[in-house]
């Protein structure tokens, strides 16, 4: 469990299941400690190529299925306030920058979070991820320094450690492993293969737990190396 007492957490990711891999354990710990969590999920991931394996979704039914999966994931984690922001999957990067920043500013003004969680700009791999976290950083940058919430980021580009160093926080999540599994399992149309692999690994007697279920790595956003001034 991370040290700080938080009063309100705001999580911003573009796709249902973005919350599951990187931070669902950490969020579950905060939720269990009674911290209110708002998750602003920008799209429904409706353009996802995975329709389940074997397929159980069609292109038409996928948005509704992913909505239900997202709700189930939030329930497993203990997220009490889920906002589906209604942007279109795979098009977040084409949204107007200022409109995106305004969306984040509105959320921050309303919720006054002590901690915001998103991806790390330039280390988020997918264009939707990049557009999302850049809007979050831009919105927070506009605030007075002393009013800014803490900003925790998930980074998983190949050159992350090379450029940012080792993660600032390694959070032990073994006590909420079941909640993380619940979150990942909820996204069956996307993560079914992964959960199956995990089951198989267990059956094979592989007892060394996968990192996903033991710890989560978090970077604290470095305002001294702000992404728009770093080039």
What residues make contact with Zn ion under the rule CB under 5 A? 15, 18
Report, in Å, the least distance between residue 22 CB and Zn ion: 10
Token pair listed for 82:
């889920």
Q: Please, which residue, 23 or 35, has the CB nearer to Zn ion?
A: 23
For residue 144 the two structure tokens come to 């007075």
**How is residue 215 written in tokens?**
């710890």
Q: Are 61 and 189 in contact (CB under 8 A)?
A: no
The nearest distance, CB 183 to Zn ion, in angstroms, is: 14
d(CA 231, CA 33): 40
For residues 18 and 216, which CB has a smaller minimum distance to Zn ion in the complex?
A: 18
Cβ neighbourhood burial of 114 (10 Å; 0-12, 13-18, 19+): middle
Nearer to Zn ion, 26 or 132 (CB): 132
Give me the residues paired with residue 116 across strands. 10, 151
User: Strands, E, within the chain: which ranges?
Assistant: 9-13, 37-41, 81-84, 115-119, 150-154, 169-172, 215-220
- In the complex, what is the shortest distance from the CB of residue 96 to Zn ion, in angstroms, rounded to a whole number? 21
- CB closer to Zn ion, 13 vs 227: 13
Nearest-CB residue to Zn ion?
15
Q: Shortest distance, CB of residue 126 to Zn ion, whole angstroms?
A: 5
Based on CB atoms, which residue is closest to Zn ion, 35 or 186?
186
Q: Exposed, middle or buried, 96 (CB in 10 Å: 0-12/13-18/19+)?
A: exposed
Name the nearest CA neighbour of 133 among 30, 44, 228.
Answer: 228
Work out how close the CB of 187 gets to Zn ion at its nearest, in angstroms, rounded to a whole number: 11
CB nearer to Zn ion: pick between 1 and 195: 195
DSSP output for 153-218: EE--STTHHHHH-S-SEEEE-GGGHHHHHHHHHH-HHHHHHHHHHHHHHHHTT--S--GGGTEEEE
Nearest-approach distance from CB 146 to Zn ion, in angstroms: 32
């Amino acid at each position: 469990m991370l040290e700080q007492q938080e009063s309100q957490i705001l999580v911003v990711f573009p796709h249902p299941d973005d919350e599951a891999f990187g931070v669902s354990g950490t969020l579950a710990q905060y939720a269990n400690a009674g911290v209110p969590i708002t998750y602003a999920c920008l799209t429904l991931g409706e353009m996802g190529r995975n329709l389940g394996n074997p397929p159980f979704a069609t292109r038409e039914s996928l948005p509704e299925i992913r909505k239900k999966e997202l709700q189930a994931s939030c329930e497993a984690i203990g997220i009490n306030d889920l906002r589906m922001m209604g942007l279109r999957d795979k098009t977040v990067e084409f949204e107007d920058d200022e409109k995106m920043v305004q969306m984040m500013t509105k959320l921050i003004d309303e919720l006054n979070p002590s901690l915001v969680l998103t991806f790390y700009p330039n280390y988020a791999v997918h264009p939707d991820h990049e557009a999302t976290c850049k809007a979050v950083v831009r919105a927070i940058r506009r605030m007075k320094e002393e009013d800014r919430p803490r900003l925790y980021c998930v980074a998983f580009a190949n050159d992350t450690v090379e450029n940012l160093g080792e993660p600032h926080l390694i959070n032990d999540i073994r006590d909420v492993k079941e909640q993380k599994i619940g979150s990942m399992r909820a996204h069956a149309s996307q993560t079914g293969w992964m959960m199956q692999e995990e089951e198989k690994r267990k059956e094979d007697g592989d007892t060394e737990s996968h990192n996903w279920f033991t710890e989560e790595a978090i970077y604290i956003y470095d305002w001294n190396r702000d992404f728009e001034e770093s080039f």
